[in-house]
Amino acid sequence: MTLATLAFLLAAAQPAAADGFEQPDRWTASASDGVASRISGVPGDSGQALRLDYDFASVSGYAFAARTLPIDWPENYVLRLKLRGRGGVNDLQLKFTDASGDNVWWVQKLNFRPSQDWQQLRIRPRDMAFAWGPTQDKSLRRTARMEIVLMRGRDGGKGHVEIDELTLQPLPPAPPPSPPRASDPAVLDGNGQTAWHGQKGQALTLDLGAPQRLSALLLDWQGKAAYRIEGSDDGRTWQTLRTVDAGDGGRDPIALHDAEPRYLRIRMLAAGRLAEVAVKDIDWAPTPNDFITRLARDAPRGRYPRGFLEQSYWTLVGTDGGAVAGLIGEDGAIEPAKGSYSVEPFLIINGAPVDWADVTTHQRLEDGYLPIATTRWQGQGWALDSTAFAEAEGDTPRLLGRWQIRNESDRPRTFTLTLAVRPFQVNPPAQFLAQRGGVSPIAALRWNGSHLLIRQPGPVDGDPPVDRLLTPMITPQSVGMGGFDQGALATPETLPLATAVEDEAHMAQARMSWTIRLAPGDHFDVPVDFAGSAPADFDAALARTADIWRQRLGGVTIRVPAARRELVDTLRTALADILISRDGPALKPGTRSYNRSWIRDGAMMSDALLRLGVNDPAIAFANWYGDHLFANGKVPCCVDFRGADPVPENDSHGQYIHLLAQLHRYTGDDALLARHWERLDAARRYMDGLRLSERTPANRTPDRQMLFGLLPPSISHEAYSAKPQYSLWDDFWGLAGYDGALYAAQQLGKPEARAIAAQRDQFASDIVNAIDAAADHWSIDYIPGATSLGDFDATSTTMALEITTLQPRLDQRLLRNTFDRQWRRVTGRAASTDWADYTPYELRNVSAMLRLGQVQRANDLLGLYMQDRRPAGWNAWAEVVGREPRVIRFLGDLPHAWVASDYIRAALDLFAYEDKATDALVLGAGMTADWLAGQGVTVQGLRTPYGALDLTMRGTADRLSVHVGGAARPPGGFVLRWPFAGLPPATTINGRPARWQEGVLHLPATGKPLRVEVGG
C-alpha cells in the first residue's frame, strides 16, 4: 500500500460533513405562504433525531428545515441520510446553497412516500444536479447551507418526517468499469462461434469487479430461452431482478435501471444456448426512454415511434372544458389520455409491410379549422387516414378514432390493417415537466371478444393500477399480444395469437388486425371508441361534433379573400385549443407538459376569449382563481391541484386586476365586478406596497435610478429564473392593474378612486423615468427587458403598447429602435444558423407593429410565423419552435394555449384594436391591397370594450368602401388608416365630405352605421 493510498483511506474514514441531529436548535424551520412548519428533537436510532412537521392546508408550497453547514465536496462521495415519517405522497428535496445564496444544487425525490420504518437515502454525484443560479461554473465544490424540503406534491395534507445520521463520505475516484469476468469466459468471446450451453438449473455468473449502477443487460440467444436474472453484492445473497419465461430468441435487452450489484447471475429455467452477453452501465441508457431509444436506433426505421429518433409533432383533440384531451400524432398514432398508451397503425399491402417511415404524410382538420384531426399516409395508389375527435354528447364524453384505408389505384388490392396497442405515448420522450413523454408502461392486456382491457401501473409506486378500455367498432379478424420478451425488436404485426398477457417488464403490446380486398375506389373503415361503449353510428357522431364546434367557434363572422383564409382558420383552431386545454374553470397553457393555471396565461387568454364573444370560460376562470388569493392580497402566480403557488412573480397582481376590469368592460356585469371588488382592491393594495418598497433613497442614486419606484425583482419572466430581475414586464402589467383598479373604483363609485389615480400616475412616471435611466446606464438605444440588466426583449416590451397608455410617453427613438431591431432579428433568421429556437409568444410583435403604423411589417411578420405551425395543416404552434424541425428538443405543449391567445389577439388586431391612450378603436390597421381586393373583408360581431363591431372594407386605392356598424361607441371614436400608398382621393362619411389628416380619418362613434366612400 502506497503512502498516498494510506493517506486517502485515513481521510476517508472521517466524513467530510456530518450531523447526528443531537442539537436540533442548529436547524430552523420555515415555510411558504399558507404552509405551517415546525422542528423538534425526537428519539432516533442511537440518540436524537430531527423532526419536521408540516401542514400544507389548502395551498401549494413548501416546508423546510435549514442550517448553516459549510461543505467542501470531494470529487467522489456518498451522501447518506436516514428518514422515516407519516404523511401522503409529496416531493422531498435536499438543497445545498453557496455562500452568495444565489446558486443552488439539489437532489429531488419526486412522489416521495415516507415509511414508518427508517429508510436510508444514498446520494452519489450523479444524483446531484445544479438547480438554478447565475453562476457559469455549475460544478459542485463548496456550499454553505443545507435545506431539507418537503414540497407539496400529489397529496399535500399534514404530516412529518424524521431525519437522522446525515453523513457525507469521501470515496476514492470511481475506477473505470472493468470487463466482467464470467464463470464460463467463452460466452463473452462475441465471435459468434462459441456459446454457453446452459441446462435447466445451471447458472452463468458475472463478476463486475465492484458494485456498478447498471442500465441494461444485452443477451444474444441461439434459439428460445427461459431464464432468471439475479443480482448480488457479495456473491452469496441473491435477488431476482428479472424473469424471462418465454424468450423468443435472438437479442434480449433486459432493463436494470434500479440495480447496483457487483455480481450478476443468469439462471436457466430451461435449456438454452447463450452466444454473447453485454453489460451496460447506467450511462448507456439512464432512463427507460433512453433504453427504448437505444433499441429504436438498432431497429428498422418505422418500427418504433418517430419521437425516439427525431422530433415528432402532434395535435390536441378533446372536449370544451378538457374532460377529454387526447393527442393524435403526425404519423397516425392516437393517445387517448394524458400519459396513456397509444394505438399506432401498420399496414401490409399485397404482402409488403408499410409503416410511417415508408410514406409521406399530410395533416388536415375538418372544415380546415375544427378540432377533428386527420393525418394521411399517402402511398402509390392508396391512402390511410387516421382521424381522432372527442364526442361531448351524453353524460360521458369520449374520444373516438377511425382508420380508413382507401384503394386509389385502378386494380384490386389486399390490405391488412394492424392497430398496435403500444406502451408509448404520442407525447414524445423529450417532453417533461408535469408529464414525461415517451414510455407508458402496460402491465397486462386482455381481449374479451369485444373490448380490449389495458392495465397500466398507477402513477406512483403503491397506487392501484389504471384500467382502460378500447372498443373497436368492427371486430378484428385476429388478435395477438405478447410481453416485451416476445417481440422487443419484432414488428407488432407478428405478435402471436393470444387473448391475455401479463408482462413483468411492463412493456406489453397487443395487435388487432383486419384483412380486406378492396376494389378500385373502395374504402374500409375501422372506427374505435377509447372507452367501454361505442356510438351506434360513427359518422353521425362526427357530424354532431362538427356542428357543436362550428357553433362554439363561430360567434364572430370573418370573411376574407381565399388567399388569407388560413389566417382565419388558424384563429378558430386557436380558440378551440384554448377551450380544450382548460381543466374545468382553470385556463391552462397545455394538457401534458403543463398541469398548472397561470394568471398571466389566463388573463391573456381571457382577453382573446372576450374579443370573440366566448365569455363564460373567462368568467369561470376569474371566479375560480379569485378563491386562491392569499389573505394579504397577494395574487399567486399559478394554481394547480395542490393549491396556490407561493413563488413571488410580480406581474400576477396587475394581471388579476386587469382580468376583472376586462370582464366588466366586455360584459357590463356590475354585480360580477362588485362581488370581486374586495379581492381586486386587496391585490391593488398589496401591489402598491411592493411598488413603494422600491421608492427608496438608495434607489435614487445615479447607478440605481433605473430601479426607482418599480416593482421588486421577480422571476415572472422565464429568462430571469436564475436570478430575479427588475423586469419591465412586471411593471407594464402592474400599470395595467392600476388602470383596471381605477376603472373598477369609478364604475362602482368607490372613494378609493382618487388615491388609485394618484398611485397610477406616479407609477407611470416612475416607469418612464426608469426606462430612460436604464438606457443611459447601459448605453443602449432600445427599451430593455429588465432595467437591472439592459437586455433586449421586444416581445416583453409589446405589453407597454397593448395593455397600457404609455406609448405616447415613451422615448419614441427607443421605441422605434426596439422594434426595428426585432424586425431585423426575425427576418434575418431565414439566412442565419446562429439561432436554435424561439418562442412564438413573438406573435405579439405583430400587434406592436400595427400600433406603430408599420402595416407591411406586421403582415410580413405574421407570414413568417405562420410558416412555423407544425404541422401546418393542424394550425398550431408549440411553445418552442426549432430552426431544425427534426432536431429533438423540449417543445412545451403542442398546441400551446397561451401562444394560441397571442395569435388570436394579433390576428384580430389586423381588423380592429383598442388604442388605450385615446379610448379609440383603430379600424383596418392591418389591411393591405391583397386583403381588400374583390369582396374584401367582412367582420361581424367582433367584441370590443365599447360594444360589438361590424366592419366591411373592400376596394382599391382609387375606390375604397368602408362600412362600420354594430353597437360599439368608443369615447375616442373610430380611427381609419389609409391602407394604400399615396394620398387618398376625395372622401365622404355618410355622404358628407371628410378630410384625412396624415393618412388618418377620424370617424365619430354615434352608435349609428357609418359609410365611408373614397374616390369614384
Assess if residue 719 is contained within a domain: no
At 11 the pLDDT is 44
pLDDT-based confidence at residue 898 (cuts at 50, 70, 90): very high
Which of the two residues, 635 and 533, has the higher pLDDT score? 635
Residue 178 has pLDDT above 60, yes or no: yes
pLDDT in tens, 359-401: 999 999 999 999 999 999 999 999 999 999 999 876 789 999 9
What average pLDDT score do residues 422-437 get?
96
Determine, yes or no, domain membership for 582: no
Query: Within this chain, do residues 359 and 507 fall inside the same structural domain, yes or no?
Result: yes
pLDDT of residue 585: 97
Distance CA 612, CA 576 (A): 12
Cα–Cα distance for residue pair 658/329, rounded to 1 Å: 37
Identify the band that residue 494 occupies on the pLDDT scale cut at 50, 70 and 90: confident
Q: Where are the alpha helices (DSSP H) in 554-643?
A: 565-581, 599-611, 615-626
Is the model's pLDDT at 1 over the cut of 50? no
Are residue 441 and residue 526 in the same domain, yes or no? yes
- Higher pLDDT residue, 469 or 534? 469
Cα angle 987-991-993, degrees, rounded to a multiple of 5: 40
- Residue partners of 438: CB distance under 8 A and separation at least 6: 288, 289, 292, 307, 308, 424, 425, 427, 428, 429, 431
pLDDT at residue 193 is higher than 70: no
Q: Report the 10 Å Cβ neighbour count for 525.
A: 16
The answer on 515 and 471 residing in a single domain is yes
Q: What is the DSSP string of 18-75?
A: EE--S-GGG-EEEE-TT-EEEEEEEE-SSSEEEEEEEE-TTS--EEEEEEEEEEE--S
Least confident of 180-194, 218-232, 765-779: 180-194
Q: For residues 249 and 280, state if they share a domain.
A: yes
pLDDT bin (cut points 50, 70, 90) of residue 246 is confident
Residues of the chain with pLDDT > 70, as a percent, come to: 97
Same structural domain, 196 and 164: no
Quickly list DSSP for 527-544.
Answer: EEESSS---S-HHHHHHH
Q: Which residue has the cell 391612450?
A: 917
Give the pLDDT band (50/70/90) at residue 16. Answer: low
pLDDT at 985: 95
Q: Check residue 192 and give its pLDDT.
A: 44
Question: Would the pLDDT of 187 be above 80?
Answer: no
Average pLDDT over residues 985-1014: 95
Specify the CATH number for the domain of residue 254. 2.60.120.260
In this prediction, residue 533 has a pLDDT band, given cuts at 50, 70 and 90, of confident
pLDDT of residue 180: 81
Structural domain includes residue 269: yes
CATH number, residue 533: 2.70.98.10
Same domain assignment for residues 279 and 339: no
Q: Distance of CA 872 to CAs 363, 573, 827, 899, Å? A: 8, 12, 20, 15
- Show the cell assigned to 883: 430552426
Condensed to tens digits (0 to 9), the pLDDT of residues 783-834 reads 999 999 999 999 999 999 999 999 999 999 999 999 999 999 999 999 999 9
Q: How far is CA 316 from CA 372, 399, 402, 576, 784, in A?
A: 9, 11, 16, 9, 36
The answer to whether residue 962 is domain-embedded is: yes
Which of 550, 574, 608 lies at the terminal end of a domain, its last residue? 550
> How confident is the model over 308-319, as pLDDT tens digits?
999 999 999 999
In a domain, 740, yes or no: no
| Contact (Cβ atoms closer than 8 angstroms) between residue 174 and residue 282 | no
Band of residue 130 on the pLDDT scale cut at 50, 70, 90: very high
Q: Which residues are CB-neighbours of 494 under 8 A, at least 6 positions away?
A: 480, 487
Q: Which of 975, 978, 960 is CA-nearest to residue 1005?
A: 975
Hey, what's the cell of 168? 457525507
| pLDDT attached to residue 1008 | 93
> What mean pLDDT value characterizes the chain?
93
Among candidate residues 170, 196, 224, the one where a domain is terminated? 170
pLDDT of residue 247: 86
Radius of gyration over every alpha carbon of the chain, rounded to an integer in angstroms: 32
Q: Is there a domain that residue 107 lies in?
A: yes
- Per-residue DSSP letter, 698: G
Our count of domains for the chain comes to 4
| Length of the chain counted residue by residue | 1016
Q: Determine, yes or no, domain membership for 939.
A: yes
pLDDT of residue 10: 37
Taking CB atoms within 8 Å and a gap of at least 24, the contacts of 390-396 are 390/317, 390/318, 390/319, 390/324, 390/325, 390/326, 390/545, 390/580, 391/319, 391/535, 391/541, 391/544, 391/545, 392/319, 392/320, 392/323, 392/324, 392/545, 392/548, 393/541, 393/544, 396/531
Q: Which domain holds residue 461?
A: 314-550
Neighbours of 936 (CB within 10 A): 20
More confident residue, 595 or 622: 622
Q: How many CA atoms lie within 13 A of 669 on its CB side?
A: 15
Whether 699 maps to a domain, the answer reads no
Instruction: Please state the rounded mean pLDDT for residues 877-891.
Output: 97
Domain boundary among 151, 170, 189: 170
Encoded amino acid at 948, one letter: A
Q: Do residues 264 and 390 share a domain?
A: no
Per-residue confidence at 12, pLDDT binned at 50, 70, 90? very low
Is the domain of 115 the same as that of 242?
no
261 and 158 assigned to the same domain: no
Least Cα distance to 44 among 163, 147, 168 occurs for 163
Whether residues 263 and 410 share a domain: the answer is: no
* Whole-number Cα distances in Å, 71 to 257, 545, 726, 926: 30, 62, 32, 61
Q: Taking residues 447-452, what's their average pLDDT?
A: 96
pLDDT band at residue 971 using 50, 70 and 90 as cut-offs: very high
Confidence at residue 489, expressed as pLDDT on a 0 to 100 scale: 59
Write the CATH number for 141.
Answer: 2.60.120.430
The arithmetic mean of pLDDT across residues 881-897, rounded, is 97
Q: Are residues 154 and 194 in the same domain?
A: no
Residue with cell 397509444: 342
Task: Output phi, psi for 419, to 5 deg.
Answer: -100, 115
Assess whether 165 and 250 both reside in one domain. Answer: no
pLDDT of 164 > 80? The answer is: yes
pLDDT-derived band of residue 188, with 50, 70 and 90 as boundaries?
low
